[in-house]
Each structure stands twice: as structure tokens, then as C-alpha cells.
């Protein structure tokens, strides 16, 4: 809406029940057409409703609230708590809308959580329209509750606290419990959150990558004047796609993230990943599944499998985590892959590396592992596991203690390039055992 003063006046009239039919119609039209006005109105409605309820208006008949006459000749008009609360809510409404009107020209409010820019201190509340930097990182919280993490090089526009428009680089969004419906737009897509943590990367080639770490998102084509928006995909945890300029999508097989924090690193070189990509031969049931490569993340504890938040890679009880494994790039694998003995994986390594595979100690290792790798003295365990999971059915654990699975670690030195790994076992019926883990560490030159 061009005349923001007029919108403030309309808000006053509507919230206090004094708007005419034509004003209500104009107000509704403005909300339909202007997302900034919708957001401002929603926030001020919360303030208005809360203060009105706090001071009893919600429990009092409206005629008593607005009546100017005392109930009896002996009663005298006064500013009681009810009227004071009403006045305070109107004052806060006016103040909030005026602040929005004055500040919207300078950007959307955000609170800094962390930043490499020395001018942005933790806890600072600032207003920004454009975020554009080539190096470093920024994490902030919007008034909607959504948290955004960006690692340079990146460029995006803050349209509102429920809408982000990315033109270059990568952002990771965590909507929490309050910002369901948060949207991220790119030239190729419109991503609508359904309660989740997800990442979006816009590549120099014009392609958009969308990956879901938790929850789900709907991916649509962008709304254009000549074409309506159309659904492209519904993505759940552990799934990702790449969308091109024509709106066509394909499976994105892997993403590289920083550490164990699920922060997209596309286009960034720090830390430089050893495992730059992992693909498979497609002999599984998930159409858009995506591996997460956690650069330099292996250490106690590190998440083990996609979709299983509880089990972590850990040292054996009472022992230190193997030093040779610490700081390796680790792949977040799929526990369900234990069902597919003919599944193959293709790791793309950027430098000569020591490749590690740790395999369930209860299960006979597959031929490819015993042929190509050497068994070490190192061991790991994963857990704790839920008692309902079938892979721990044969483990005897004292009552009240957590359940862990033990693994033997194998290793192999390989040059840069593609390395092939096979399935979890050679016997198609050996699926009641844990899926193996994979990591790689650059060899010292």
C-alpha cells in the first residue's frame, strides 16, 4: 500500500469496530495485495487481542464496554482497568504500526545470533532489506521466529519476516514452531515450509537446490504474470532436488554441510570438503533422497543416520574416540540401506585420502570390504537405540541401560577421484543388522 498513514488509520478503525463498509472493503483489499501490510496487521492483532484479554474485555459484553452511560445514577464514569487496558492496547497498536511504517523503508527487523562481521554484535536488533557478503557467516532470528543461517558468498532480500528472496548463494532456514508457512523464493522456485529445517542454494548456473534436513517443504514454480504457480515436489527429511531455469527437477544426490550443524556450504571453500559428492546406483525406494556430507565433522558424538536423531557415532564405553578418525568428512547414511545388498555408492574425493568404513561387528563383512580394505584395531559404537528397532533384537542389555551397536573399522588409502563401495552384506537375508558408516580424511602430503 503506497499510503502507509492511511493503512494505520484503517487498522485503528477496523480493530475498534468503527470502520465503514467501504473502509473494511479497502482494508481487505490491501491485505490481499500487500504482504508487508498483512504481516504488520497480524502482529498488531496479537498485541491488541492479548491486552484486551488481559484487562477483561473478552469476558465483558460489548455494549458495556462501549457504553458511555453509567449503570445507575449513583455510578460515575471513570478510567477503570478495563478502559485503561483498552487505551493501552490502542496506544501500543498505534505505536507498533507507526514504528513499522517508519522502519519498513529501512528493512525488516532481525536479531543477530552470530556474525563474523564485527559491526553486528550478538543480540543486536537491526533492520535490513538486503544481505550481501562474499566471506564470513551470519545467523539471525526474524520476528516470525524463523532463524536464518547464511555463509558467504551469498545475496538475498528480506521481503518480510515470512518471506526471503535468494538471488545467489546458500541459506539454511529453521522455522521453529511459530513460522510454519515461511517462504523462500528464487528465480526458479517458491519453497513453502511445512514445519522444518531446510537449505536453499542458488547456483551461478541459475539452478536452485532445495534440501530438507527435518520436516517437509512444498516446492512450487514461481508465480509469474504469464504463468500460474505449479507444484514441483513435496520433499521430506533427507530428500533434495535441483530445479533448472525451465522448472524441471531432478534428484540432488548429496549436499555438503558444515560440521554437524546442517548449514549448507555450496559455493563455499571453508572448510574444503574431502568428500565432494556421493551418489548411488538407485537400487532403493526413495526417489529424491540425498546424502549429507558433514565436512570435518566426525567426532564424539556425530549423528549416524538420516531420520534417526537418537543414535550417534561414539567411542566404546570407557575409551577415547579414535584420533585417526577425528575431523574426517563423514556421510550421513540411510539405516534402511541395510535392506539392499546390491546397492552401490560412488564417492568423489577431492584429494588423496584415507577412506574409513565401520561395519556391524555381528555381521560377516561383505566381499568388497575384505578385498579392498584392511581391518584396523579401531572400533566405534552407535547409540543409544530405541528398543523397537529390529537391528538390536538379538542384543542382550541389562534392564535400564542404553542399547549400543559395536562396529569394526576398516581403512584404505585412495587417490583423488571416484571410489566405489558395495552393499552392507552379501546375504540378502542379513538385514537385521546396522548399516555401515563412511568417512574420509585427506592424506598428509
Strand-pairing partners, residue 149, are 139, 172
Q: Is the pLDDT of residue 87 over 60?
A: no
pLDDT band (50, 70, 90) for residue 62: very low
pLDDT band (50, 70, 90) for residue 178: confident
pLDDT 10s digits, 294-347:
989 999 999 999 888 889 999 999 999 999 999 999 999 999 999 899 999 999
CA distance 440 to 253: 18
DSSP 356-413: EEEEETTSPPPHHHHHH-EEEEEEEEEEPPPTT-GGGTT----TTS---EEEEEEEEE
pLDDT band (50, 70, 90) for residue 69: very low
The secondary structure of residue 301, as a DSSP letter, is S
pTM: 0.72
Domains and CATH numbers, the chain: 4-68+78-106 (no CATH), 108-247 (2.60.120.1440), 271-442 (no CATH)
Residues 6+ apart with CB under 8 A from 214: 196, 197, 198, 237
DSSP 308-346: EEEEEEEPPTTSPPPTTTTT-EEEEB-GGGGG-TT--EE
Strand-pairing partners, residue 295, are 258
Cell of 293: 556430507
pLDDT 10s digits, 183-202:
999 998 999 998 888 999 99
pLDDT of residue 43: 57
CA distance 90 to 45: 11
Residues 6+ apart with CB under 8 A from 425: 338, 341, 363, 364, 366, 431, 433
pLDDT 10s digits, 252-286:
999 888 755 555 555 444 567 999 999 999 877 77
E strands along 104-238, which residues?
A: 108-115, 125-128, 130-133, 137-142, 147-160, 163-174, 183-185, 190-193, 197-202, 208-214, 216-220, 231-236
Residue 30 host element (H or E):
helix 21-33
Name all contacts of 147-156 with Cβ < 8 Å and 24+ positions apart: 147/113, 147/173, 147/174, 147/175, 147/176, 148/172, 148/173, 149/173, 149/174, 149/263, 151/258, 151/263, 151/264, 151/265, 151/268, 152/268, 153/267, 153/268, 155/130, 155/131, 156/130, 156/131, 156/132
pLDDT of residue 347: 97
Amino acid at each position: 500500500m503506497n499510503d502507509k498513514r492511511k493503512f494505520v488509520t484503517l487498522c485503528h478503525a477496523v480493530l475498534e469496530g468503527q470502520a465503514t463498509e467501504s473502509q473494511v472493503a479497502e482494508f481487505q483489499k490491501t491485505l490481499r495485495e500487500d504482504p508487508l501490510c498483512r504481516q504488520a496487521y497480524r502482529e498488531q492483532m496479537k498485541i491488541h487481542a492479548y491486552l484486551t484479554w488481559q484487562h477483561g474485555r473478552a469476558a465483558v459484553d460489548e455494549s458495556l464496554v462501549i457504553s458511555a452511560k453509567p449503570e445507575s445514577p449513583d455510578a460515575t464514569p471513570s478510567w477503570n482497568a478495563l478502559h485503561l487496558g483498552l487505551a493501552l492496547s490502542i496506544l501500543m497498536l498505534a505505536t507498533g504500526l507507526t514504528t513499522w511504517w517508519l522502519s519498513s523503508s529501512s528493512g525488516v527487523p532481525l536479531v543477530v545470533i552470530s556474525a563474523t562481521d564485527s559491526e553486528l554484535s550478538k543480540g543486536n536488533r537491526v533492520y535490513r532489506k538486503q544481505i550481501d557478503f562474499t566471506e564470513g557467516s551470519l545467523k539471525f532470528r526474524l520476528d516470525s521466529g524463523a532463524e536464518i543461517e547464511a555463509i558467504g558468498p551469498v545475496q538475498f532480500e528480506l521481503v518480510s519476516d515470512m518471506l526471503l528472496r535468494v538471488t545467489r548463494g546458500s541459506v539454511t532456514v529453521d522455522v521453529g514452531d511459530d513460522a510454519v508457512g515461511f517462504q523462500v523464493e528464487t528465480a526458479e522456485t517458491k519453497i513453502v515450509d511445512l514445519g522444518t529445517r531446510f537449505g536453499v542454494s542458488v547456483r551461478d548456473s541459475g539452478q536452485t537446490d532445495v534440501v530438507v534436513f527435518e520436516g517437509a517443504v512444498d516446492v512450487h514454480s514461481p508465480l509469474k504474470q504469464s504463468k500460474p504457480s505449479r507444484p514441483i515436489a513435496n520433499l521430506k527429511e533427507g530428500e533434495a532436488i535441483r530445479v533448472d531455469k525451465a522448472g524441471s527437477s531432478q534428484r540432488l544426490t548429496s549436499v555438503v554441510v558444515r560440521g554437524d550443524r546442517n548449514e549448507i556450504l555450496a559455493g563455499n571453500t571453508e572448510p574444503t570438503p574431502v568428500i565432494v559428492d556421493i551418489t548411488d546406483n538407485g537400487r532403493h525406494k526413495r526417489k529424491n533422497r540425498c546424502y549429507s556430507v558433514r565436512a570435518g565433522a566426525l567426532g564424539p558424538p556425530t549423528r549416524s543416520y538420516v531420520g534417526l536423531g537418537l543414535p550417534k557415532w561414539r567411542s566404546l564405553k570407557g575409551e577415547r574416540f579414535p584420533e585417526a578418525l577425528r575431523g574426517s568428512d563423514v556421510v550421513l547414511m540411510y539405516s534402511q540401506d541395510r535392506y539392499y545388498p546390491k546397492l552401490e555408492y560412488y564417492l568423489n574425493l577431492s584429494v588423496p585420502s584415507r577412506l574409513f568404513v565401520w561395519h556391524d561387528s555381528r555381521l560377516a563383512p561383505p566381499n568388497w570390504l575384505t578385498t579392498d580394505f584392511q581391518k584396523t584395531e579401531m572400533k566405534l559404537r552407535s547409540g543409544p537405540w530405541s528398543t523397537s528397532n529390529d537391528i538390536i533384537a538379538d542384543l542382550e542389555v541389562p534392564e535400564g541401560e542404553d542399547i549400543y551397536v559395536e562396529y569394526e573399522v576398516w581403512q584404505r588409502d585412495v587417490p583423488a577421484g571416484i571410489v566405489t563401495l558395495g552393499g552392507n552384506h552379501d546375504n540378502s537375508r542379513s538385514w537385521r543388522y546396522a548399516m555401515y558408516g563412511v568417512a574420509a580424511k585427506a592424506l598428509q602430503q
